[in-house]
Amino acid sequence: MPEHKWIKQLQLPEKLEKAAAAALRLVESEWAAVDSIAFANQRRILEAFQKVRLGEEDFQDSSGYGYHDRGREKLEAVFADAFQSEAALVRTQIVSGTHALTVALFGLLRPGDLLYCLTGEPYDTLQAVIGSLGSEAGSLHEWGINYRFHHPNAEGRIDPQSLDSTLRPKVAYIQRSAGYSLDRTALTEKELAELIAQARRLYPQAWIVVDNCYGEFVSDREPAALGADLVVGSLIKNPGGGLAPGGGYMAGRKELIHQIAARLTAPGLYGNLGATSGKRSLFQGIFMAPNLVSNALKNAIFAAAFFELLGYEVRPRYNEPRGDIVQVIILKSAERVERFCRAIQAASPVESHVTPVPGDLPGYRDPVIMAAGTFHQGASAELSADAPLREPYAVFLQGALTLPHALWATGQAALALESGDGP
């Protein structure tokens, strides 16, 4: 791989500059594979735009009830094709990925039904929705909906063959990303396909629902193409392309989208209502999404190689298959985590002057520090670093609007660590 002449612009001391150059040489073939995936996804999304015959008039805002909003209908058709599914529900009224999952689960489950989480305990915020953290008002458990968790094995993998064949779940739930858990890794396309196939064999009566957050467009086949009935996510993550100001999506089988729409609006209204503004940004965001994911993956791969060369444990390693855009770097001290996050914040385009500190956040069990100098609040796919303050003190790095910015910020985080006590 030719030496990157721009590496001097990272303005790193000699030791870090040499490690960065070595990391870039290591990731050559991995970056090439990312480019190939991005091309395939970009072509599919382009064809989806052309299929709906998108025009300037489709960017117009709707108001009130939002009846006959053709732009909204075309946006949902584009998302359906982008996620290789039959139908989609894309709404700015959805406030987060957790909200999107909540709407989906309440739309599908009824009192007495069983929710079987195939990938262990989900994100802290979704556990509050399920009711597994206690007596949260309005949880699924409060409504008489039962839950079971299937845990990863000792190697941190989800073994499809060890699923409980005696259960009869209504929803078999899969969380593609590992969240803040270090007990397992994000599901690769191959692992996801095997898990979906086994769940289909064991639970033919169940709907297979995939939490797709951080995993969109990491491969050229989305979960619906692998056999999932429904995928759910946030627009301020991968599919928003860094341009969507908020919202969430569901994509999957038509009858499930229809059923969930009754929960989002009301029975009888379904997806026919929902005034939508800012559609230009939503369309442009999904169009730009493959590029954002490509940038994020390249920086994650670089960061894995770079920090491993510096002596830190990383998950996944630079040459291992990936299921999402998140790179885990184990720093082994709260003080290092804080230095890392503060460096990312200081290298951000927005609120670079702000110093992030750990704090209590709704839905999380431990104090969390978040660095996200992003154009949209909470849009961690732009570029962010966050971590719960608990052992072994791992930081979670993800996102990139542009690759040069992500590489610069990652270098600054390494510099901040180097100025302290090292790994």
The CATH number of the structural domain formed by 54-286 is 3.40.640.10
DSSP state at residue 413: H
Residue 66's CB is within 10 A of a number of other CB atoms, namely 18
Tell me the average confidence (pLDDT) per consecutive run of 10 residues in the chain, 423 residues long.
Answer: 74 94 96 98 98 97 94 98 98 95 97 97 90 83 95 87 97 94 92 98 98 97 98 97 96 98 94 94 98 98 98 97 97 96 96 93 80 92 94 96 97 91 51
Q: Which two tokens stand for residue 316?
A: 């996944």
> What single DSSP character describes residue 359?
B
Which residues, in sequence order, are CB contacts of 292 under 8 Å at separation 6+? 238, 241, 242, 381, 399, 400, 401
Amino acid present at 20 = A
- Is CATH 3.90.1150.60 what the domain over 5-40+291-418 is classified as, yes or no? yes
Q: What pLDDT, on a 0 to 100 scale, did the predictor assign at position 3?
A: 59
Helix, strand, coil in percent for the chain, rounding step 5? 45, 15, 45
pLDDT at 362: 67
Q: Which two tokens stand for residue 61?
A: 């805002």
How far apart (Å, rounded) are the C-alpha atoms in residues 103 and 6? Answer: 47
Q: What are the distances in angstroms from CA 167 to CA 110, 170, 193, 306?
A: 16, 10, 21, 44
Task: Render pLDDT for 218-254 as a digit per residue (tens, 0 to 9).
Answer: 999 999 999 999 999 999 999 999 999 999 999 999 9
- Which tens digit of pLDDT belongs to each residue from 304-321? 999 999 999 999 999 999
**Encoded amino acid at 48, one letter:** A
Tokens describing residue 166: 């005696």
Which pLDDT tens digit goes with each residue over 112-157? 999 999 999 998 889 989 998 876 788 999 999 999 999 888 887 8
**Do residues 195 and 331 make contact, with C-beta atoms less than 8 angstroms apart?**
no
DSSP characters for 360-399? --TT-SS-EEEE---SSTT-TTTSEEEEES-TT-EEEEE-
In the prediction, which pLDDT does 281 show? Answer: 97
pLDDT of 135 reads 65
User: Nearest-CA neighbor of 355 among 338, 368, 332?
Assistant: 338
Helices (H), 14-142: 14-26, 28-52, 70-82, 97-108, 124-130
What pLDDT, on a 0 to 100 scale, did the predictor assign at position 60?
A: 96
* Torsion sign across C-alpha atoms 95, 208, 229, 254: negative
With left for phi above 0 and alpha for psi between -120 and 50, is residue 391 left, alpha or beta? beta
Ranges of H-type helices in 189-278: 189-202, 254-264
Question: What pLDDT does 320 receive?
Answer: 97
* Residue among 6, 26, 28 at smallest CA distance from 17: 6
Domain ranges of the chain: 5-40+291-418, 54-286
- The Cα–Cα gap between 315 and 299 comes to 14
